[in-house]
Every structure is written in structure tokens, then in C-alpha cells.
Amino acid sequence: MDERRRLINLGYRMLGSLAEAEDAVQETYARWYVMTPDERSAIENPAAWLTTVASRICLNVLRSARVRRERYVGQWLPEPLPDVREWDGGADPADRVTLDESISMAFLVVLESMTPAERVAFVLHDVFRYPFDEVAAIVGRTPAACRQLASSARRRVDTARAPERPATEQARVVRDFKQAWEAQDIEALIGLLDPDVTAIADGGGRALTFVEPIRGADDVAGAWMQLARRALGSHVLVECTVNGRPGLVSRHEGAIVTVFAFDVADGRVTRIWVVRNPEKLRAWTTG
């Protein structure tokens, strides 16, 4: 059971969903405990066995997820995670995902563009540093094929990756965005947005939000002004950490109902991800 947190970390990066990662790990342990004691004792490296099984389960989930997400209402975004200090006090520490660059919303969104095999090979090798011989045994390809998969995935990541900005700069831009939004100052908002900014929302058909991405500073600022007029009177915006980066949450009657993640470059917001699907906000729930 000491391996549980590592497997949750692995599963979250592969699937972009804490709930699905937990299910995959649960299934992994179910397969472990269904074996006889003699069968388990014959396994020389239990940690490696658990990793192999969990990774194969994740690979199967990713393949079926392609079909499920075609039926998903609106845009599908990864499940956002809070900082450990902001995590629900009832959460099991073993289920808490370690926050680093490999779980930023921007990184996870790029992973979503990969094929299942690319994603698993890349996460295992580039993030968790498994050698290609081990990756090959998990993915069911040759080491050379897995090296090509990881290389293709790496090019996608490198193409999409913006220069990393200091956390203090990102926090300042997010704070200025919050203040301009609360003041309903559209000119200030436009000034904080990159001209080509994109906003994507995920309500999953379970919460009201915009369905198609919004692009361009004027249109995004206009949409946020509409949100301010409709909701800010009854909602409270709070600065927080979202997947290791400065972000915002919206509280309504004390409950977190929306999580906002941001990508910032050169002092301006380049991307906004809005998650309202309540199924993806479990880690943020209090009480």
C-alpha cells in the first residue's frame, strides 16, 4: 500500500482525472489481492508489478475515453486540483497528487491531444523516468517504437510550452484580473488579456457555462463582463493555487462552484480554463 500515492500520481497524469486515477489504482489493488499468497510472493518486484498493471489499465481507459468524450456535453478539461494546503481536510493523504510542472493545466491539456500510447509512453519515460525497456513491456510495443512515441509526444509538448514565468508575476496578473473583473472594468480586463487569448469552459452538461471556446481579448472580456453582471453579486472570488499555478475559485453560499486556471505570458493572460462540472470539483469540496 506504500505505492498507492505514486500510482495515483501516475494515473492522474495519464488520465487527467483524479476520479479515474483512483478507480485505476483500486482495480490494480483488486488484481493484486485476488491472487493467492503464493502467487504474490512469487513476484520479485511488487512495485514494478503494480506500475505495469496500473499503466495498462490507464491505457485501456484512455482508449475507451476517446469514445466517451465524443459524447461529452461541451468541452472536456482535465480535473483541476488544489494545493495540498487547500485540499479538502477529509481527503486521504495517499490520494493527494504531487504538484509540479507535469500537472499544470496547460501541460495536461497538451497530453489530451496525444494518442493513448503516446501519452502513456511519454508520462512513463519523460515524467517518471522509466527506461524504454520497461515502457515497452507495459505498452506492448518495442523499445524503439516507444522511443518514437515519446519523441512525438515531446515535440507536441515543446511546441505548446510557453516560456515559464515567475510565480510572482503570474500571481500578480491573476490578482489584477480578479480586481478588474470585480470592478467590471472592461478596459482593464482587455489590457490584461493577450490579443489571441482563448477561454475554454467545462460544465459537462451539469452546470451552466459557455459551450464553445471564446477567442480574442474583446470577446473574452465581454463574456466575463456578462458573468460579472449575472453572478458576482452572489459569488465570491478567491485567489488560490490550481494545479500548481495561481488561479481563482468562485464560491457561492460557501461552496466552490467554479475553478479558473490561467496561462500567463509577458504579463498577459493567454489562456483561461473554467471548470464547473461538479464531478470534477470533489477535491475542492469542503465540509
pLDDT tens string 169-191: 999 999 999 999 999 999 999 99
pLDDT at 89 exceeding the cut of 50? no
Asked whether 18 and 82 are in contact (CB, 8 A), the reply is no
CATH classification at residue 64: 1.20.140.160
Number of domains in the chain: 2
Strand locations in 163-211 (E): 193-202
> From CA 117, how far away is CA 234, in angstroms rounded?
45
CATH classification at residue 272: 3.10.450.50
The pTM score is 0.90
pLDDT at 254 exceeding the cut of 50? yes
How far apart, in Å, are the Cα atoms of 67 and each of 62, 71, 130? 9, 7, 29
Same domain, 142 and 254: no
Residue 88 lies inside a defined structural domain of this protein:
no
Same domain, 196 and 131: no
State which of 130, 160, 190 marks the end of a domain: 160
Same domain, 59 and 137: yes
What pLDDT does 95 receive? 61
Same domain, 186 and 238: yes
Same domain, 245 and 176: yes
Same domain, 36 and 173: no
Same domain, 12 and 39: yes
Of residues 251 and 91, which shows the higher confidence score? 251
Q: 4-18, 184-198, 226-240: which range is least confident on average?
A: 226-240
> From CA 27, how far away is CA 213, in angstroms rounded?
35
Residue 103 lies inside a defined structural domain of this protein:
no
Same domain, 150 and 247: no
Asked whether 272 and 262 are in contact (CB, 8 A), the reply is yes
Residue 98 lies inside a defined structural domain of this protein:
no
Residue 105 lies inside a defined structural domain of this protein:
no
Tens-digit pLDDT profile for residues 14-36 = 999 999 999 999 999 999 999 99
Domain of 30, in residue numbers: 4-74+113-160
> From CA 212, how far away is CA 192, in angstroms rounded?
22
Of residues 167 and 86, which shows the higher confidence score? 167
Residue 145 lies inside a defined structural domain of this protein:
yes
Residue 92 lies inside a defined structural domain of this protein:
no
Torsion angle, alpha carbons of 25, 26, 27, 28, to 10: 50
What pLDDT does 285 receive? 77
Same domain, 174 and 134: no
Same domain, 204 and 240: yes
Of residues 38 and 93, which shows the higher confidence score? 38
pLDDT at 284 exceeding the cut of 80? yes
Same domain, 141 and 187: no
Same domain, 126 and 188: no
> From CA 76, how far away is CA 281, in angstroms rounded?
14
Residue 97 lies inside a defined structural domain of this protein:
no
Residue 85 lies inside a defined structural domain of this protein:
no
State which of 100, 133, 160 marks the end of a domain: 160
What pLDDT does 73 receive? 86
What pLDDT does 234 receive? 83
